[in-house]
Structures are given as C-alpha cells and as structure tokens.
C-alpha cells in the first residue's frame, strides 16, 4: 500500500485547491484573498507542485498575473475531478448525499439574460450543493476561457471554438432584422438580406459576431453602411428604435420596447439560412466530472422546448 501511493507524499489536497484558485482568478493575490490565506502560502503551494512535477503549471507575466501552461491545464482538469470526488467521499456519512462541486461557467453575453437566470434557478432546485461561478463574456472570451482552463464549461454560439471540445446543442436561433416602428421595413412581415443593401446598419462591435453578420450580408450581395458599432445589445436595440439604422440579430427579447419606450419591429428573414447553434461546451477532460454531467443534463432538459 505504501509503495502504491508513494507519490502522494509530495502532493496535498490543499496545494491543489490553492492552485485551482490561482487558475480561476489568474492572480495569486486574488486567489489568496478568496481563500482567506496569505499570498506566500499560495505561492509556496504552487512552488511545491511545480517541484513535484518538474514542470511549470503557470506562466508568470509582470503586472498581468498568471496563466496556466498547457501542462497546467491538464493537471488542473484532473485536480477538479479529484476535488469533486473528495467532496463526494466527505458527504457519504449523510443519508441524502448530493452531487457537489464548484463550476466556472462562461456565457456569451448576448444570450446570458435568456440562459443564466433559467439555469441558476433550475440548479438551485435540482442541484443545491453545486456552486456556479458565472462570467458574462464575448465570443472570443468564451472560447479563450475554455482553451486556457479558466472555464469548466461555456454556453456560447458555434463560432470560434476549437475542434477538441465536447459540445451539445441546447437550441437553435434564426437571425432577424430589427428596425424602428417608422422605418419602411416596418410595413412588411418579412425581409430579405438583399433588402439591406445601402441601409444604415448598427453593428455589434465584437469581432466574431460582426464578421459573421457581415459575411451573411455579403453572401447575399448586400453592402449596408455601418453607421455605429456598439458593445451591448440593448444599446443596439435603442439606436434602432430611435431610427439610426437597422440591425441583424439572433437574440430577441420578449418585448419590442427599447429603453426610452420606443418600439422596434422584428422581421423574419426570407433567405434560407443555416440556424445559429447555441452550444454547451467543455473540454473532453472536464466532461468526465460528475458535476458537469449533472449540469449538462439539467441544461438540456431546461431548453428542450426552446
């Protein structure tokens, strides 16, 4: 028995927990604050782990915190699985042992208002011992968080993701054109992409999103005039409502009113377009965690009729 587990002598669960916190925060000081321990204690734990492996877990950049190395991503993935299992073992004394764990979920900000509240409510009811740390981000941020190990899972569009991820489609979206109530399109029940040729366009200022929208329009020989690039969907809708231009969007709220009370018109597109997939994505290593499997099951059930 002692020979079988001899490598454990230079590893402790506390060291792994400290390293996980650093990986999540990208900063030793922030991790120490969250753990309520001293910064030297966290630094010492990381140094001990790196001595054990003989390899760096983190790349350190002055004034920019730390990032996981490719080897560090692999170690932290296994460490999360181990911590989940330890929590399960610790709960065996209770008669109602539940799925436990802490999960970092990144969500594309355009769909977060639709996804996150529903998910959090369902998990509070079905998996009360699971802690979700969520982050709103752009498309590039979701993809980057998965590849760097900062995210355990992400809900995002099928754009910019690497091919080594495990994905599950939650629901699909068709693009719509939105315009102001007094725009000439408002009298129509639908619109073709070619009709946007020469139109003033309010574009969401995110590289992957804007490239996708512009690509759809160019494929239909439509060249609109981009009059504004904005960071948020709500500002995009408000500018449209006040007549500054039209927009091509996938996510539609349940109301046509924008800030200030002005109305927008939502018009289906007549072109035969491929639906945009909203995906639940995680690394193949993380997919083995029971807590992630449980969350995946609940997410799929929640959006089964979306």
Consecutive 10-residue averages of pLDDT for the chain (306 residues): 56 85 85 88 88 87 80 82 73 62 88 90 90 90 85 88 85 92 92 94 87 88 93 91 93 80 91 89 80 88 78
Taking the C-alpha atoms of residue 17 and residue 35, their distance in angstroms, rounded to an integer, is 9
pLDDT for the residue numbered 90: 67
pLDDT of residue 6: 57
Question: What gap in Å lies between CA 226 and CA 247, rounded to an integer?
Answer: 10
Cβ neighbors of 170 (< 8 A, separation 6 or more) are 115, 155, 278, 279, 280, 299, 300, 303, 306
Q: How crowded is the C-beta side of 133, counted as CA atoms within 13 Å?
A: 11
pLDDT at 1: 45
C-alpha span between 91 and 95 (Å, rounded): 9
List the domain boundaries for the chain: 1-96, 99-171+275-306, 175-268
Residues in the chain: 306
Quick one: tokens of 282?
């995680």
Domains 1-96 and 175-268 share a fold: no
- Crossing angle between the packed helical segments 39-53 and 70-90, to the nearest 10 degrees: 110
240 phi and psi angles, rounded to 5 deg: -65, -45
Predicted local distance difference test score (pLDDT) of residue 306 = 59
> Which of helix, strand or coil describes residue 106?
strand
* CATH code for the structural domain at 1-96: 1.10.10.10
The dihedral sign for the CA sequence 268, 274, 276, 280: positive
Burial 64-98, CB ≥16 within 10 A → b, else e: ebbbbbeebbebbbebbbbbbeebbeeeeeeeeee
Going by C-alpha positions, the residue among 7, 1, 285 that lies closest to residue 146 is 285
Distance CA 269, CA 254 (A): 18
pLDDT of the residue at 198:
93
Which pLDDT score, from 0 to 100, does residue 117 have? 92
Q: What is the pLDDT of residue 4?
A: 54
Which superfamily, per CATH, for 175-268? Periplasmic binding protein-like II (3.40.190.10)
| Residues 33, 284: Cα–Cα separation, whole Å | 31
The CATH number of 99-171+275-306 is: 3.40.190.10
Partners of 70 in the β-ladder: none
**pLDDT for the residue numbered 208:** 82
């Amino acid at each position: 028995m002692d020979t079988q587990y001899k490598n454990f002598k230079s590893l402790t669960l506390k060291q792994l927990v400290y390293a996980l916190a650093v990986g999540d925060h990208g900063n030793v000081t922030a991790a120490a604050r969250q753990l309520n321990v001293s910064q030297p204690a966290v630094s010492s734990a990381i140094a001990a782990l790196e001595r054990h492996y003989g390899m760096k877990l983190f790349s350190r950049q002055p004034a920019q915190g730390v990032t996981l190395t490719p080897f560090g991503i692999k170690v932290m993935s296994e460490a999360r699985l181990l911590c989940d299992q330890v929590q399960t073992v610790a709960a065996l004394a209770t008669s109602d042992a539940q799925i436990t764990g802490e999960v970092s979920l990144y969500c594309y900000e355009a769909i977060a208002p639709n996804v996150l509240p529903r998910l959090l409510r369902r998990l509070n009811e079905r998996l009360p011992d699971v802690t979700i740390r969520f982050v709103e981000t752009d498309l590039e941020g979701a993809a980057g968080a998965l590849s760097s190990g900062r995210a355990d899972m992400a809900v995002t569009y099928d754009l910019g993701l690497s091919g080594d991820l495990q994905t599950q489609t939650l629901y699909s979206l068709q693009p719509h054109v939105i315009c102001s109530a007094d725009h000439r399109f408002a009298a129509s029940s639908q619109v073709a992409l070619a009709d946007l040729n020469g139109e003033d366009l309010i574009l969401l200022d995110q590289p992957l999103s804007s490239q996708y929208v512009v690509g759809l329009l160019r494929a239909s020989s439509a060249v609109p005039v981009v009059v504004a690039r904005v960071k948020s969907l709500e500002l995009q809708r408000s500018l449209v409502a006040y007549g500054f231009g039209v927009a091509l969007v996938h996510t539609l709220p349940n109301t046509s009113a924008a800030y200030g009370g002005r109305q927008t018109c939502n018009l289906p597109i007549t072109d035969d377009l491929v639906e945009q997939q909203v995906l639940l994505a995680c690394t193949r290593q993380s997919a083995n965690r029971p807590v992630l499997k449980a969350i995946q099951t609940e997410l799929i059930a929640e959006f089964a009729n979306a």
